[in-house]
Structure 1
Amino acid sequence: MFRNYLTIAFRGLVKNKLHTAINVSGLALGIACVFLIAMYVAYERGYDRYYDHYENLYRITWENENPQTRTPHPMAQAVVRDFPEVESAVSLSPLWGAGLTKRTFSVRNLEKNIKFDETSLLAVDTTFFDVFRFPVVRGDAKRALMHVNGLLISESFAKKYFGDEDPIGKQLAVNADTVLLEVMAVFKDVPEQSHFHFDLLISYLREKSFNPESNYYKWGDFGHFNYLRLKPGTSPKVLEGKLLSWVRQYINISDEQYQKARASNFGFRLQPLTDIHLKSHLRWELETNGNIEYVHIMVAAGLLTLVIACINFMNLMVAKSAERTKEIGIRKTVGALRSQLSFQFIGESLFIALISVIVAILLVMISLPFYNSLTGHSFRVDYLKAVPMLVGLGAMVGIISGLYPSLFLSSAQPNAILKGNFRHTSKGSSVQKALIVFQFTVSIVLISGATIIFNQLDYIQRKNLGFDKEEMVVIPLKDRSVGNRMETLKTTLMNIEGVTSVSASSNLPGGQFDQRPVSLNGSPGHEIDCSEAFVDYDFLKTMNIGLAEGRFFRRENLSDTMRSFVINETAALQLNAQLQLPSVVGQEINWLIDQSGNLLKGRIVGIMKDFHFQSFHRPVQPLLFILSAAAYNHLVIKLNTTGFENRIAAIKQVYTQFDDAYDFEFAFLDERLDQQYKSEQRTGVVFGLFAFIAIVIACIGLFGMTLIAFYRRTKEIGIRKVLGASVPRLITLLLGDFTKLILLAMLIAIPVAWWMMDRWLYNFAYHIELKWFTFALSGLVAVAIAILTISFQAIKAAVANPVESLRDE
């Protein structure tokens, strides 16, 4: 019996090749899309889940008007000491340079003369492996972290410097061969799905030994990253509620400050480790995190694409089954049971769905390399797990799609069928129309969303940032001593053809900035958090930043060095909010150097115009410039890029005369700035791709529905032609019903898309204004594609010879 059903199903597929192709292609595309998106979502949600009992790991953060990730170094061990519910804790930090820029270290294997520049180094407490239980493949990690000259390296790092040799006990020279460290342990590489990465670990014991009394390691400095491992069953919220009052024994917090913090819900927070990648966007994140909203967008796009494909499949199966009424009548007349007919319909639907799954798997295999390049990941498919899930999905769709025709048609009386008195219900027709409207509503929403994303990214590219970003070459200053010879270096570089200006700074737009409280003398209690950057005399000129008032730093003004400040317009406005002075130029300000209350006083000599030194996700923040040659991290060169290769070679030749210990590197400022929006760019491209696929699937389904609908109206069209209806009139008639449905979908989609994209644009402090015609245009594009899809069949039906359709009447 089963073999007979299978044979009938196969013959039906071969007989109706076009219908089969439409059904299989639409569902296969939908399944492939949702599978690819599911891989992306699973990857993004899988960060930091490889640790033993990861659900007990938390990061301590500080919540105030400007929340941050960094907290005091002694806090980790104090929490373990004072709270029995904390199993272990660790404090860690990259070795920052000025302006919170990661330092670059020259690392050399002296025996093999293998040298590379490295930045992925962390200083950690001796308890690091108690919290983060990375597998150690060689050596003794505990011993290494107790040793001031101990070094722990990753497997890939060991391979790079030592090949297949055992690195334990061997030495690496650091910082232009001035420091020798002994490799004492090798750990497994940090997985890609981690919110921070490193290849080298050294102990805080080493760093503290250079300056044991440094404020950097005291309670007053919020400059470290602290992580906890809680004992199972501990409530993080209960512990979190105790931290602010507990910390008063270590940090001088007045009763007034404490009550104010409580009233404002400020204080320390315990952030689940698994929330960091997608849900944390605080100051000074160790690495750029993802965005949970973009994951939700991708989930919605994937599910809606699959829903469209499933609706197509069901619609076409139901519509096609209505043409088989006479077959059913004959089968019932010769004794076929209702259960047998139901099984046949479900089996045929299931058969087509499983073929779609096979095609979907092939599509995934073919498209995976392209998808990886699009998302920037290296996804691999575990087919042993994926195939059963996809087969289950296909089986579910197939069974549901076959249920309606099996129950509806198999219940009909054979005499009613054979006499032609059995008709498809108007209710069923209404459901099909509603599903078509839903399909195109979703498609138009996706097209509108992709259009708005691309428009916003284009706006970011074109908007005036307040400085020049084109033809700006950035060279990282890895050797800090170059800053002491900066004027000589700049003068030499200016002699190179094409170099029009040279400057140096600790920070650049698009990067991370340190922040400190700043207050105006005479304005007690009124502090603002101000981002800071150390710059040279030519920074404003090189970057082409405007000066609103006063002056910039001058070589002839000796007091400008660390005693004069230039601030931006936003800082001037906020500092002057209380006193309302005619101008803050010439006023003295207090610059808080550390949390212990140490102040540096100086005068404001100028106010520069606001410029976007951070991404468009945030409004322009207060910014303060200080003149200091000891803190430069970047060399910025305004370069005419004609004959670029020769000019960059000349720059390299000059620069290496000042720094031959590190590798020469350069980048373009505009490319660095684009990295801020990498997540949006990828989301826009992927979203646009799936919007295109959604409209393709919808049109495939619409094409199939028009085939069936026009087939049912063959006799009606023939009669109308005999009675004198013109071809244009018939085409308009045939297109009318479907066009109305798509226009209705457009009317529904526009407000939905408007609401969704308005919410998305809230992520940007500066964004495009939503225009109604953008959504209308997206809708009209969908309408035009749909009309083109069905026009061919409408014209074919309208010009057909009526004799062919009426010969049996």
Structure 2
Amino acid sequence: LLGLFAFALGLALCAAFTPLVNLMAGRTLSLGYFLEHPLNLALALLLALGLGLLAGIYPSFYLASYRTVNILRGGDVKSGRSVFRSALVVLQFGLAIAMIISTLTVVQQLNYMKNKDIGLNKDHILLVDMNEEANKAFETIKEELLKSSDIQGVTASGQRLGNNFHQWGFKLRTDSIFGMTPSNVNVDYDFLDVYGIELQQGRNFSKAYASDKDYAFIINASFAKELGMADPVGVSAGHSWYPDDSLGTIIGVAKDFNFNSLHYDINTLAMVVHPDWGYDELSVKLQGGRIEAGIAEVERVWNELVPGWPFQYSFLDEHFEELYRSDRQMEAVVAIMAILAIFIACMGLFGLAAITMEKKTKEVGIRKVLGATAGQIVMHLSKNFAGLVLLAFALFSPLAFWAMSRWLENFAYRIEVSPLAFVFGGLLALAIALLTISFHTLRHARANPAEALRTE
């Protein structure tokens, strides 16, 4: 019966908290899917009944083996059950501590990624997908938009920042010609300016140089480092299909910037102005504080010059946030699991404290008669439970460290597992444990010793 009641309570709690879990984790979980399948429901019922039977079998055998004379004499329960209960509390609090540490580590990593300087300015960048019609009108679109005080800059690119750039064959000529395979992106002349990407060497693209169209390349610092050149500006270079006698030139080296998510290292990159290839993404830098007005202006110009293609926009910072959606979902799931683990551990500890305090009623009475204060009694009663939490911390902290170290390996740019997460996790668990048992310890510490000793 207890198992069935627990099953019904579990279903009710699941139904009540599923919307909250979906909201936090960004999922669309539904209890209806589970209930619509009779097999799932039957297995869950059998599991609930099985757990109820298992929970009752051990006490039944234990009581059946206990001698009646010991019961009549007021004999105490054997220490075996006490050890088993304590082990369960250690397990529960150990898992809770591990989940607390994991939650703190995930939060720290996500905050690190959010605040890390990625070498470009992604704020207030409006993105609009371009088609052939938009490409033909690009120069006019750009000219019209730059007339507005609500717009700081306009550019375009063949691929969106935050996505994996295509890797094409690339060749360079020094004493001889050799090939490489960097990431490549087709950009407009003002790409670096709009995105705030800094030049380390050389110059930016410019329409003042006719060769900057198709035959000028700006590489990133990682590319220059891989070339092993202190100053690669002026080196002959081109895509793999360029004839060896018609290569372009590296005109600049940009500081490294993260054009992909922080899960990945910065790859070697070559940027080139190839307007004839067409652009896929229009990038508009809006004036801060004038976002709505800027969007309205872009929409007006777009509808006027590209009437055959719908105006659909997004923001670059939102796109980068989307790259870490699964990590944020994990953060929410781990936090929920930590809360549940703490709740279950507290229930177990509360029950263990109730049993333990009843056994120590006479001991508490004697200590009070001998002059012990309420504070001393609370400290005495609490130290064993604190020891269980400390044992749980010692056993499960290495597990949390290993799990978080493995998870952080998914990021090229990551924090180190912080000792503060372990200190905070352990202290929080200890505080929760002491607060949980305080009801019993304070009640017994304040009790009249005569009540405890009169049955002796």
TM-score by length of 1: 0.54
Partner Cα distance (1:379, 1:495) in 2? 49
Q: Does 1:588 align with 2:236?
A: yes
Paired residue type of 2:129: P
Q: State which of 451, 472, 478 in structure 1 corresponds to 2:125.
A: 472
Change (3 A) 1:409 1:501: same
Partner Cα distance (1:591, 1:357) in 2? 65
Change (3 A) 1:366 1:420: same
Partner of 2:84: 431
Partner of 1:82: none
Residue deviations 1:523-568 (CA, integer Å, cap 9, x gap): 7685332111111111111000010111111111001111111111
Partner of 2:325: 678
Q: State which of 1, 21, 26 in structure 2 corresponds to 1:376.
A: 26
Within 5 Å, which residues of 2 pair with 1:8-27? none
Partner of 1:386: 40
Partner of 1:216: none
Q: Does 1:456 align with 2:103?
A: no
1:382 is paired with a residue whose SS is helix
Greater share of residues in helix = 2
Q: Does 1:511 align with 2:166?
A: no
Q: Does 1:540 align with 2:186?
A: no
Residue deviations 1:679-704 (CA, integer Å, cap 9, x gap): 00001111111111101110111112
Paired residue type of 2:94: T
Q: Does 1:412 align with 2:62?
A: no
Q: State which of 145, 148, 155 in structure 2 corresponds to 1:493.
A: 145
Q: Does 1:402 align with 2:52?
A: no
Paired residue type of 1:703: F
Contact 1:591/1:600 (<8 A) preserved: no
Partner Cα distance (2:360, 2:98) in 1? 32
Q: State which of 185, 208, 211 in structure 2 corresponds to 1:556.
A: 208
Paired residue type of 1:774: A
Residue deviations 1:340-371 (CA, integer Å, cap 9, x gap): xxxxxxxxxxx212211110011122222333
Gaps of 5+ in 2: none
Within 5 Å, which residues of 2 pair with 1:268-283? none
Partner Cα distance (2:245, 2:18) in 1? 56
Paired residue type of 1:427: G
Partner Cα distance (1:414, 1:598) in 2? 100
Partner Cα distance (2:246, 2:264) in 1? 28
Q: Does 1:741 align with 2:391?
A: no
Partner Cα distance (1:599, 1:691) in 2? 64
Partner Cα distance (1:627, 1:713) in 2? 82
Q: Does 1:760 align with 2:413?
A: no
Q: State which of 263, 285, 293 in structure 2 corresponds to 1:646.
A: 293
Partner of 1:769: 416
Partner Cα distance (1:516, 1:598) in 2? 16
Q: State which of 250, 258, 261 in structure 2 corresponds to 1:612.
A: 258
Within 5 Å, which residues of 2 pair with 1:65-80? none
Contact 2:150/2:293 (<8 A) preserved: no
Residue deviations 1:564-601 (CA, integer Å, cap 9, x gap): 11111111222x24xxx44211111241249xx99973
Partner Cα distance (1:512, 1:660) in 2? 30
Paired residue type of 1:387: L
Partner of 1:719: 366
Tell me by how many angstroms 1:805 deviates: 2.1
Q: Does 1:363 align with 2:32?
A: no
Paired residue type of 2:253: I
Tell me by how many angstroms 1:434 deviates: 2.2
Partner of 1:529: 181
Tell me by how many angstroms 1:745 deviates: 1.4
Contact 1:501/1:639 (<8 A) preserved: yes
Q: Does 1:603 align with 2:281?
A: no
Partner Cα distance (2:10, 2:168) in 1? 55
Q: Does 1:570 align with 2:222?
A: yes
Change (3 A) 1:799 1:449: same
Partner Cα distance (2:290, 2:188) in 1? 28
Contact 2:350/2:437 (<8 A) preserved: yes
Change (3 A) 1:661 1:469: same
Partner Cα distance (1:512, 1:371) in 2? 31
Partner Cα distance (2:134, 2:372) in 1? 88
Contact 1:521/1:590 (<8 A) preserved: no
Partner Cα distance (1:660, 1:703) in 2? 69
Change (3 A) 1:522 1:548: same
Contact 1:590/1:599 (<8 A) preserved: no
Count of aligned pairs between the two proteins: 451
2:182 is paired with a residue whose SS is strand
Partner of 1:250: none
Residue deviations 1:734-766 (CA, integer Å, cap 9, x gap): 111101111121222222211211111111000
Tell me by how many angstroms 1:375 deviates: 3.7
Gaps of 5+ in 1: 1-350
Contact 1:519/1:527 (<8 A) preserved: yes
Residue deviations 1:12-32 (CA, integer Å, cap 9, x gap): xxxxxxxxxxxxxxxxxxxxx
Q: State which of 444, 448, 455 in structure 2 corresponds to 1:797.
A: 444
Partner Cα distance (1:523, 1:509) in 2? 34
Partner of 1:660: 307
Change (3 A) 1:411 1:526: farther
Change (3 A) 1:408 1:674: same
Change (3 A) 1:459 1:776: same
Contact 2:25/2:328 (<8 A) preserved: no
Residue deviations 1:690-722 (CA, integer Å, cap 9, x gap): 111101110111112111211221122112112
Change (3 A) 1:592 1:707: same
Residue deviations 1:379-404 (CA, integer Å, cap 9, x gap): 33231233212212212222222222
1:652 is paired with a residue whose SS is helix
1:765 is paired with a residue whose SS is coil
Partner Cα distance (1:802, 1:526) in 2? 91
Residue deviations 1:591-644 (CA, integer Å, cap 9, x gap): 1249xx999732111111110001111110011111022321111111124243
1:440 is paired with a residue whose SS is helix
- Greater RCO, CA 8 A, separation 6+: 2
Partner Cα distance (1:675, 1:456) in 2? 16
Partner Cα distance (2:332, 2:273) in 1? 42
